[in-house]
Chain A
Amino acid sequence: ETGVTQTPRHLVMGMTNKKSLKCEQHLGHNAMYWYKQSAKKPLELMFVYSLEERVENNSVPSRFSPECPNSSHLFLHLHTLQPEDSALYLCASSLNMRVRAGDNEQFFGPGTRLTVL
């Protein structure tokens, strides 16, 4: 596998379910991100991790719980979601989040299409 991978690619869950999204990057990066992409809205940054430490949480509801066990893996644990949480969830990684550098490009995974019934 190369780049950034996400599993599952599609997920349907009820409002009472608990599920997890997984992201893995094979690029040797130190920073990882979760974004939410809803129809007709800009991508919303949800969480940022740098060297497994959460450095940004953009007022995301507690029903979304991120976990970063190491610099290659990022999870998003979901519980008691609402139908309006249905969206494409994108994971991204970058080399070094704290560097104001021109090469700190974010590489995106293909996303998980989440539907909450």
Chain B
Amino acid sequence: AQSVTQPDIHITVSEGASLELRCNYSYGATPYLFWYVQSPGQGLQLLLKYFSGDTLVQGIKGFEAEFKRSQSSFNLRKPSVHWSDAAEYFCAVGIFQTGANNLFFGTGTRLTVIP
């Protein structure tokens, strides 16, 4: 069965520091991979996605993620964090099954940014 693991429940970084959020997935084939961000009181916004091709994908707001098949990972990175990046981040696996594109989410990582 497919699953998504985000091992870090909460991460605190200083503004201007680099960031890496971890995501591991379990799925038999190459999945579609996504990172979403959720600000307080808001819905989820797509940051970036990977389907095929270049394993380093660029997203919005200066985020990037790298797909590593050997490690079943899709970690999210940002070289310099801004205070406005404080939010909850969700990794998701998209699987086409039973005629539906279904998303399976991790439990999320809450990011706190300190001045």
Contacts and interface: CB of A to CB of B under 8 A. Distances in A.
B100 A43 contact: no
A110 B100 contact: no
The prevalent SS among residues of B at the interface is strand
Contact of B99 (A43, A98, A108, A110): A98
Contacts, number: 61
B43 A43 contact: no
Given A42-B106, A42-B107, A90-B44, A102 B52 contact: yes
Question: For the side of the interface on A, what is the size category?
Answer: 20 to 34
Contacts of A50: 100
A52 B44 CA distance: 23
A111 B101 contact: no
B105 A105 contact: no
A98 B49 contact: no
A4 interface: yes
A41 to B, nearest CB: 7
Question: For the side of the interface on B, what is the size category?
Answer: 20 to 34
B90 interface: yes
A30 to B, nearest CB: 12
Contact of A108 (B41, B44, B100, B101): B44
Interface in B17-49: 32, 34, 36, 41-46, 49
Interface of A: 4, 6, 31, 40-43, 45, 48, 50, 55-56, 90, 92, 94, 97-100, 102, 104-111
Given A4-B43, A56-B100, A102-B51, 7 more contacts: A43-B90, A97-B101, A104-B94, A105-B34, A108-B43, A110-B43, A111-B42
